[in-house]
Chain A
């Protein structure tokens, strides 16, 4: 969706290094979702953010939603090969569906 921009499109990180993915919406979000997808497989739910300024963490992954609820970042600390995949952000604009960004492909090099 052009209303939801993800950056970068892809990134390569050395194992053990940190990485950040950004997701920017042109409109205020009702909810923001992060999913991970292995190529050709289903989407795995990571986190959902709804409140402005909210931050959630699970294991080594932290997601934040800015105060204006238009931008979110996903940060992975000390990346591992298991973190490789495609990360997708999905926007809920209170119209029941999710609108997805184009995705960020993460490669972790040993």
Chain B
């Protein structure tokens, strides 16, 4: 158990709908990262938040958005869903200071999204 929690574990929805994925980081971690894993694209970085502020952005579609709340949990909002959005969505967290070099990211169990 990494200490990172994600809900829900599974989500089935229809095209055009909107869903929200939730992530709680490990205790003490200020950084939250979102990744998407699909068969054709592999594991791709979407976005990072540090202490409530957006820090880095990857291949995140405009239909997707995220935020990190004062209690440090984060939500990933996916709207106008398409069939191709079906994937595993992972949240990861790290301390976020990078004072001693590279930081380990600990991953949650993921949310499996199926768009029908």
Residues of A within 8 A of B (CB): 1, 30-31, 33, 35, 40-45, 48, 50, 88, 90, 92, 94-103
Asked if A100 contacts B102 (CB within 8 A), the reply is no
Enumerate chain A residues within 8 angstroms of B33, measured Cβ to Cβ: 97-98
Interface check B108, CB cutoff 8 A: yes
Contact A97 B101, CB 8 Å, known A35-B107, A45-B106, A102-B42: no
CA distance A99 to B33 in the complex (A): 12
Q: Which of B2, B88, B105 is close to A40, meaning CB atoms less than 8 Å apart? A: B88
CA distance A90 to B43 in the complex (A): 10
Asked if A43 contacts B56 (CB within 8 A), the reply is no
Q: Return 14 A-B CB contacts under 8 Å, by A number.
A: A30-B102, A40-B110, A41-B110, A42-B90, A45-B106, A48-B104, A50-B102, A92-B103, A94-B102, A96-B55, A97-B45, A97-B48, A100-B42, A101-B42
What residue in chain B is nearest A29 (Cβ atoms)?
Answer: B102
Enumerate chain B residues within 8 angstroms of A41, measured Cβ to Cβ: 109-110
Return A17 CB to nearest CB of chain B, in Å. 27
Asked if B105 contacts A98 (CB within 8 A), the reply is yes
What residue in chain A is nearest B57 (Cβ atoms)?
Answer: A97
Asked if A31 contacts B2 (CB within 8 A), the reply is no
Q: Which of A45, A50, A98 is close to B45, meaning CB atoms less than 8 Å apart? A: A98
Interface check B73, CB cutoff 8 A: no
Closest 3 CB pairs of A and B: A31-B102, A97-B45, A43-B107
Enumerate chain A residues within 8 angstroms of B102, measured Cβ to Cβ: 30-31, 33, 48, 50, 92, 94
Q: Which of B56, B104, B110 is close to A33, meaning CB atoms less than 8 Å apart? A: B104
What residue in chain B is nearest A99 (Cβ atoms)?
Answer: B45
| 20 new A-B contacts at CB < 8 Å, known A33-B102, A42-B109, A103-B42 | A33-B105, A35-B107, A40-B88, A40-B110, A42-B2, A42-B90, A43-B90, A44-B2, A48-B104, A50-B102, A88-B43, A92-B102, A94-B102, A96-B31, A96-B48, A96-B55, A97-B48, A97-B58, A101-B42, A103-B43
Enumerate chain B residues within 8 angstroms of A50, measured Cβ to Cβ: 101-102
Interface check B22, CB cutoff 8 A: no
